[in-house]
Amino acid sequence: VTDATCLVRGESGTGKELVARAIHRSSDRADKPFVAVNCAAIPETLIESELFGHERGAFTGANRARAGRFEETRDGTLFLDEIGSMKFDLQAKLLRALQEREFSRVGGTNLLPFGGRIVAATAQDLESAIENHKFREDLYFRLNVVSLEIPPLSARGEDISLLVNHFLKKGSERLGREFTCVTPGVLEAFENYNWPGNVRELENYLERMMVLGDSEILNESQLPTVLSARSGKEVSSSMTSNGAITLPEEGVVLDDLEKDLIRQALGRTGGRLEPAAQMLGITYKTLQYRIKKYRLKEKPEESSGVSPPSTREARS
């Protein structure tokens, strides 16, 4: 059973918890508990007790002893989402638990063993947080043993059909109805959309379509307005009618086309990412990811004289 900690990084809604669950299922701990904690959703006054538990009388209202998430995890996986939101002084106790593989409840003195694995996730720039003394550098290195960068959904078009199948199965179980697939038109609309809300937005739209749907196959009539306006032939005809893009007879290399468009956008905006992202119709984080993907930051001479983004700016 591996004890290697893992840090999953990516913008909000990219499916970091899905990745964490996949890590758990593929490990030797798959038959052990998977315990998830959103560090940003729990008040600062309660987060320590939530994680480590407390003894009776540890604080006002602690009428009985309570086990925390570390105890519940046992030899399983503890997923700490939004780890960058954890208050600074609590980070020291988390670091000790990771280093010594033991912890104590709030108000207690007995040391309890921890045999689980930690998978943490964040949408924040932890390196910047370290520089601003909001995140411990030693904890960062302890968590960042295995690092996974999750690109935004708009950069993972090949994942959409897989995610659709996953959410249809999940929705079928929750709603007590059978949903087998979406029509090709729905899938095309999904693939043409830029998904500013990432995987979470895809799941929400599918859930809405399942609630409103009256058959096991979801079709274009159930698409939200923001998607139906961009589906199928409407996208194709709008692209050809305005003359913005004409596909050469010999075809194109799509990555080269995307790279060139990003360079042009950066050139027109003087290297400023936010207006460039707006010009391209993608999110700021997506643009950061694609600049990193195409290594544009390393070749300023080829980007219309635009200075390359800083290391922190190019992170996603």
Asked if 111 and 103 touch (Cβ cutoff 8 Å), the reply is yes
Q: CA–CA separation, 21 vs 197, rounded Å? A: 20
Q: CA–CA separation, 240 vs 257, rounded Å? A: 16
Does domain 6-150 correspond to CATH entry 3.40.605.10?
no
Any idea which fold 154-241 has?
Helicase, Ruva Protein; domain 3 (1.10.8)
Phi, psi of 5 (to 5 degrees): -80, 155
Instruction: With residue 148 as reference, give the H or E element that holds it.
Output: strand 146-149
Please give the CATH number for the structural domain made up of 254-302.
1.10.10
**CA atoms within 13 Å, Cβ hemisphere of 146:** 11
Where along the chain do its domains lie? 6-150, 154-241, 254-302
In 3-state terms, what secondary structure has residue 95?
A: helix
CB atoms within 10 A of CB 44: 12
Q: Quickly tell me which residue has 């998904």 as its tokens.
A: 195
In 3-state terms, what secondary structure has residue 230?
A: coil
Q: CA–CA separation, 163 vs 174, rounded Å? A: 16
For the chain, 316 residues long, give each residue's pLDDT as a single digit of tens: 456 899 999 988 899 999 999 999 999 999 999 999 999 999 888 999 999 999 999 888 889 999 999 999 999 999 999 999 999 999 999 999 999 999 999 999 999 999 999 999 999 999 999 999 999 999 999 999 999 999 999 888 889 999 999 999 999 999 999 999 999 999 999 988 888 889 999 999 999 999 988 889 999 988 888 787 554 333 333 344 444 556 666 566 677 778 878 887 887 777 888 878 877 888 888 888 888 887 775 333 333 333 344 433 444 3
Asked if 7 and 122 touch (Cβ cutoff 8 Å), the reply is yes
Closest CA to 182 of 223, 141, 232: 223
Kindly report the pTM of this predicted structure: 0.67
